[in-house]
Amino acid sequence: MTPVRFSPSSLKEGRWYEYLIRFALGGGATVFTGLISSRYGASIGGLFLALPAIFCASATLIEKHEIRRKREAGLDGTRRGREAAALDAAGAALGALGMLTFAAVFWLAAESSTPAAFIGASLAWLVVSMAAWYGRRKMRSARTADKAGGSAVSRSRRG
Amino acid sequence: MTEYLVRFLVGGVVVSAFAMLGDVIRPKSFAGLFGAAPSVALATLGIAIYQHGTGYAALQSQTMMAGAIALAVYCVVVCQLLVRAGLRALPATMISLVVWLLVAFGLFAFAGGQG
């Protein structure tokens, strides 16, 4: 199983304007949510707290970086770029389960204690997201091991 | 006006922080978790409590659950469009926004939500 690690050098791959775009998108999404809430009410505004506006930019940047890296190595990189963005999307799907837990914990705790709601909801997001990711990895490794074991058995029977 | 400027700055900082964290973490599927980090929610709920009180923020987080389920469906659709349909990231993520809207508002209507 691939261990989780930090790769600070990845930050050098980004251009300054890419960080600026993400800052503007993040700010824009927060302003947009505020406008929706004040125009249509807190319930509708709440839906937009999970709007994947930032994800569009992140996935596009990941694809772009991967293509750039492959082209520097003399390869096309289009397929690899798509695969990198797809991996990011698969991770985000698991992160969305964490976000669901974040919302549930915040909803339950908000009226009793504000700091507890923020800390509890953030921890719940982290724990559930990581647990979902590790669970998926375990299942995938078990499936791969089963397949490898199955083909070894059939090979030995044939032999 | 000041309120929206504060929203813009707080949202920009929180979203950028989570995005940079996602940039430096490997493997990519783990970094993807940060693509669904509640960054906009953290910024917005904090401002909502300051301006309108905890009841308002609690109501927002209640309907946020429908948005989060829609986000999970959205990510699966994006993944399929990239891998099976061979679309590039930008069109795949933009087209799938329709799915997010349909699922989020569908769940909201199903739960009998009112704005």
pLDDT in tens, A114-126: 999 999 999 999 9
* Cα distance between residue A87 and residue A102, in whole Å: 23
Contact between chains at A54 and B20 (C-beta distance less than 8 A):
no
Of A124, A79, A78, residue with least CA distance to A103: A124
The question of ipTM being above 0.90 is answered as: yes
Of A6, A42, A133, the CB nearest to B60: A42
Of A88, A16, A40, A117, residue with least CA distance to B61: A117
Length of chain A: 159
Q: pLDDT tens-digit profile of B49-73?
A: 999 999 999 999 999 999 999 999 9
Chain B: nearest CA to A23, how far in angstroms? 4
Interface of A with B in 62-121 (CB under 8 A): 62-63, 78, 81-100, 102-104, 106-107, 110-111, 114, 117-118, 121
Contact between chains at B35 and A104 (C-beta distance less than 8 A):
no
pLDDT band at A153 (very low <50, low <70, confident <90, very high): low
Domain boundaries, chain B: 1-52, 65-115
Domain boundaries, chain A: 52-158
H runs (alpha helix) in B28-112: 28-31, 39-52, 54-83, 89-95, 97-110
pLDDT band at A107 (very low <50, low <70, confident <90, very high): very high
Is pTM beyond 0.90? Reply is: no
